[in-house]
Amino acid sequence: MAKITTLLFDYDGTLMDTDEIIISAWQYTYKKMTGEELAVGTILRDFGEALRDTMNKYFSGEQLEEAIEIHRVFQTETYLEKIQMFPGTKELVLKLKDMGYKVGIVTSRRKPTTFMGLEKFDLTDTFDCVVTADDTEKHKPDPDPVLFALDALNSRPEEAVMIGDTVMDMGCGKAAGVKIVLATWAQAAQFQKMNVTPDYRINSADELWNVLEALDAE
């Protein structure tokens, strides 16, 4: 097997603990639009999709645009205050970068809030590539976001790994031909039915080193 040179990370639920931010935004939006509650489990099962794709399951036409705007405004107003990084993820990324790995982000989040989070934790210049929902027409689980990142990084699929917490991440990475690692520390990983079998599962950021060691041994 080719030596691993490239690590691609999902953003929400993998690097950044945004579960409660997203859940609150969904509950507020759905209640405002319908007057009813939306179960947390239902929200978590759709984590990882582009917002418009998920919203399209509940609303259409003018209602769809209104719901998207309500969700984005609510989330933006609380985002910087509440966003945190998962334990060990910043240290992991910085060490990978220091060791010479190419590190990238592949997210279904839009560019403005993605970079707001990176700026908060002084990571804006750390990643060699940041692919957001604004960069590709097709989104996870389509392979295009990962393929876009690989092209930008001049990396081949066989030397890359995608790390994420949702079936969307796993499907995207698998379709692009990279190794896929399921990060299990966010809520969404417990609620989603994985119809794609991850190559590895990790329960903490430090466990990625065991994965890289195993891949080097193949």
The order of strands in the sheet holding 129-131 is 129-131, 102-106, 6-9, 160-164, 179-183, 200-202
pLDDT at 156 over 90: yes
Average pLDDT over residues 135-159: 97
Q: Would residue 10 show up in a list of annotated catalytic residues for this protein?
A: yes
Across the chain, the runs of DSSP E, i.e. the strands, are 6-9, 16-17, 84-85, 102-106, 129-131, 160-164, 179-183, 200-202
User: How many C-beta atoms surround the C-beta of residue 197 within 10 A?
Assistant: 10
Question: Pick the catalytic residue: 10, 12, 128, 135?
Answer: 10
Asked whether residue 143 carries a pLDDT value surpassing 90, the answer given is: yes
Q: How far is CA 199 from the centre of its chain?
A: 17
Quick one: 19-82 is in which CATH superfamily? Putative phosphatase; domain 2 (1.10.150.240)
CA–CA dist 155, 43 (Å, integer): 34
Q: Which of the four pLDDT bands, split at 50, 70 and 90, describes residue 161?
A: very high
3-state secondary structure of 148: helix
Mean pLDDT, the chain, as a whole number?
A: 94
Backbone angles phi, psi at 175, to 5 degrees: -65, -25
pLDDT of residue 134: 96
Residues 191-217: pLDDT tens digits? Answer: 878 889 999 999 999 999 999 999 988
Predicted local distance difference test score (pLDDT) of residue 44: 87
pLDDT for position 1: 64
pLDDT attached to residue 76: 86
CATH of 6-17+84-217, picked from 3.40.50.11720, 3.40.50.1000, 3.30.300.20, 3.40.980.10, is: 3.40.50.1000
Contact 115, 124 (CB under 8 A): yes
Tens of pLDDT, residue by residue over 166-178, are 999 999 999 999 9
3-state secondary structure of 103: strand
The predicted model gives 124-131 an average pLDDT of: 97
> For helices 19-34 and 61-82, what crossing angle results, to 10°?
150
Residue type, 181: V
Q: Residue 195 is encoded by which pair of tokens?
A: 């119809």
- pTM equals 0.91
The answer on pLDDT for 190 being more than 80 is no
Residues 158-185: what's their mean pLDDT?
Answer: 97
What tens digit of pLDDT does each residue of 26-67 get?
A: 999 999 999 999 999 889 888 888 899 999 999 999 999 999
pLDDT tens for each residue of 73-108: 998 888 999 999 999 999 999 999 999 999 999 999
